[in-house]
Structure 1
Amino acid sequence: MATQQEVFGHGLAVITGAGAGIGEGLARHLAGLGMTVVVADIDEAAARRVAGDLPAPGRGIPYAVDVRDGDAVAGLARWVRSELGPVRLLIANAGLQQFGHLWDTPVAGWQRVMEVNVNGVFHCARAFLPDMLVDPGRSHVLVMASIGSVVSMPMQSSYIVSKHAVLALAECLHQEIGLVGADVNVAAVLPGAVLSDIFSSAGGVEHGDVDAAERHRRDMFSVRERAISPAEAGETIVEQAAQGEFYIVTQPDMVLGAMRSRAEQLAERRSPAVFRSRFVPQNDE
């Protein structure tokens, strides 16, 4: 079985949303293995901070990009190709949260989540895959899904919808790569609870039940009590990617349990019950 060092100890990685959270954890771990990492983020200052602090023997290169802009992502791919060479690992990681009842969710908030979480992955695939398909040697694409890809949950409809779509995108892309016979390994990453600012930076609502949206935001901070660090998530994800797993999970008990529950619900045609997180305090407990 191949080791992380054998698979990811050299070459070039591009990570979107690498200025914080899981993206930063992945960048640090991959640089430590020896990869050159393009730290791509909409926040240029964050990209520069992370790129400038990556561990040897690898190195970091910052690049400011908004993954909602297909032309900008295509420009990133052209620049990487011209200046740095072939990409061995593409991680489409950038993602956003949104809280509130669906009927209170601002149109702009819904669109922003879809444009970043779903369209961002699509733009990355369109921009980078044509070259990766024909480059000699194996390359890898990791698509950042979520435990939210296999559950339904109130007050986060736009995020949950987007992550279900992202998982389906990764599954379809994996099959399409198989059809053309290219040496590109596609995987879907389903993290459980990982420390990040995704809840504090999440969109809320301006009209309707604002209090309910903010209560849910506060409740979700309980996830942090049992969350793993971005560094631990990065190492776990890269280890499973090196082993060729398609469904990559950071916390098997949590994520695989959610996957089994989802499969059983569909097979038994059960109506969705209100999701009860093991982390969030329940009013009746």
Structure 2
Amino acid sequence: MSKLDFAGRAVLVTGGASGIGRALAQASVRAGALAVELADVDESGLREGARVLTDAGATVRTALVDVGEESAVSAWAAECLDRNPSIAAVFSNAGVLVRNDPLAPDLTAWTRAIDVNLRGAVHCAAAFAPALTRRGEPSQLVFTASMAAYMPAEGIAPYAVTKRAVWALAENLRVDLAAQRSPLQVSVVSPPRVATPMIAATVEGVRTQRGEAAAEAFVEALPTADDMAEATVEGLRERDFYIWLPDEADAASRQGLRQRLEPIFTGSRG
């Protein structure tokens, strides 16, 4: 199996205005990508991301795209495919962390999580998998899932449920593409809690309960978006399917996942 080469090629990133999305674009440029297409609903974040990537030597285009809208994703995909003859990777990364109290459920929050986290991934797969397969060159469709998919936590059910579905989507798409001998392969990235704007509410909770110093220490102990992006690009070079942070960077999450899955395999009650 050939390695994935970024040199001189394009990468496309949804949710690319900030956090892991922007970091994935930057890591791809460091790996040799020359063109970057960023999609997001955050216009100011897109402008800043474009500035940073342009300073790094990339040709950057941005688009306001709500991935929950199939027509928006399809239109963006058509434009990207038309102007980029060689695409190394499409990062289906857009996501929202919405909270929900099961005793006072907010179905609007559930709908938004499903639209962005799950439908957004489905829309990216539908828009890009056929076209990239037809091109016949090695490329990668990369889904950002989450360790939260398998490690329950209070109040995040809409996020965890949709991210587990993304994991299943990636696994099944991988099988389908392999059966059709597509040169397009799939990866699923599973970040732990990472220091990005997505966890702002969590940080604020720590600050409220334990003070500013505790909040700063909490953030400093987390892996960064750049850590996750570098691990992702390294995994993509090898065309890995499951991509995680290295054990030394995220041993706690790995151990937590093993403990979480053990009762499933042993039939233990709990």
The reply to whether TM is greater than 0.5 is yes
Cα distance in 2, alignment partners of residues 53 and 126 from structure 1: 30
1:59 CA drift (Å): 2.7
Paired amino acid for 1:255? S
Residue equivalent to 2:52: 53
Normalized per residue, the structure richer in helix is 2
Cα distance in 2, alignment partners of residues 223 and 264 from structure 1: 28
Cα distance in 2, alignment partners of residues 44 and 61 from structure 1: 12
Judged with a 3 Å threshold, the aligned counterparts in structure 2 of structure 1 residues 190 and 237 are, in CA distance, closer, same or farther, namely same
Partner of 1:267, secondary structure, is helix
Task: String of CA shifts for 1:195-229, please: whole Å, max 9, x gaps.
Answer: 11113369xxxxxxxxxxx959968x675242122
For normalisation by structure 1, the TM-score amounts to: 0.83
Paired amino acid for 1:268? T
Residue equivalent to 1:265: 263
Judged with a 3 Å threshold, the aligned counterparts in structure 2 of structure 1 residues 52 and 74 are, in CA distance, closer, same or farther, namely same
Residue equivalent to 1:205: none
Residue equivalent to 2:127: 127
Residue equivalent to 2:8: 10
Equivalent residues in 2 for 1:104-253 (5 A)?
104-200=104-200, 224-252=219-247, 253=251
Judged with a 3 Å threshold, the aligned counterparts in structure 2 of structure 1 residues 102 and 27 are, in CA distance, closer, same or farther, namely same
Contact in 1 for aligned 2:5/2:88 (Cα 8 Å): no
Percent identity over paired residues? 26
1:113 CA drift (Å): 0.8
Judged with a 3 Å threshold, the aligned counterparts in structure 2 of structure 1 residues 266 and 217 are, in CA distance, closer, same or farther, namely farther
Matched, 1:78 2:78: yes
**Runs of 4+ with >4 A deviation:** 214-219
Cα distance in 2, alignment partners of residues 103 and 271 from structure 1: 25
Cα distance in 2, alignment partners of residues 233 and 38 from structure 1: 20
Task: String of CA shifts for 1:146-170, please: whole Å, max 9, x gaps.
Answer: 1112222221111111111111111
CA RMSD after TM alignment: 2.5
Contact in 1 for aligned 2:92/2:120 (Cα 8 Å): yes
Cα distance in 2, alignment partners of residues 143 and 93 from structure 1: 6
1:261 CA drift (Å): 1.9
For normalisation by structure 2, the TM-score amounts to: 0.87
Residue 252 (structure 2) aligned to one of 231, 238, 254: 254
Contact in 1 for aligned 2:100/2:158 (Cα 8 Å): no
1:2 CA drift (Å): 7.6
Residue equivalent to 1:34: 32
Task: String of CA shifts for 1:18-68, please: whole Å, max 9, x gaps.
Answer: 101000111111122231110111112211220122143433221110001
